[in-house]
Amino acid sequence: MSVLHSKSAAKDKTPLITVAAFETLLAESLPMTADWDVRVESIGHGHATLRLPGSPRFLRPGYTVSGPVMMGLADVALYAALLGAIGPVPLAVTANLTINFLRKPGAGGIRAEALILKLGRRLATGEVRLYGGDSAEMAAHVISSYAIPDGRPGST
């Protein structure tokens, strides 16, 4: 069992999936992300940064990005961070997701910074920090866990 507390903890490890391979996996298994124009900026071993460009279709009354859109982006970002640590395991699924909305992100794009906090054989727990545009202030904080299926490399 490994614990990844920060990006620096996994700094020396090579990600087990590339951005291109992750984007291909998303296109095949979660085509909604292509419709949303989710952009994968980086994937490391246990961390990832994704962006969602601003769009009027993501807005709710009050001229701000809706909660379900932010949750969807956070879920995909943590999936990217997880696959960066375990490789392409398409059947890893969200087991839990809790989001705390901290402030309105505005109507622009959203940046998601995901980090695996603990990686076990069958369950991974991570956090995602969501920011509106280029703001340094968090718009939402997510804690989530992923169930990892048996049969992945190294899970014996």
Q: What is the tens place of the pLDDT at every residue in 40-79?
A: 999 999 999 999 999 889 898 888 999 999 999 999 999 9
Q: Which pLDDT band holds residue 81 (cuts at 50, 70, 90)?
A: very high
Q: Which pLDDT band holds residue 152 (cuts at 50, 70, 90)?
A: low
Q: Whole-prediction pTM value?
A: 0.89
Largest CA distance in the chain: 50
pLDDT at position 155, please? 47
β-strand pairing of 59-60 with 93-101: unpaired
Q: How far apart are the first and last CA of the chain?
A: 12
The answer to whether the CB of 87 falls within 8 A of the CB of 155 is no
Distance CA 118, CA 116 (A): 6
Average pLDDT, the chain: 90
For the chain, how big is the Rg over CA atoms in Å?
15
pLDDT at position 1, please? 43
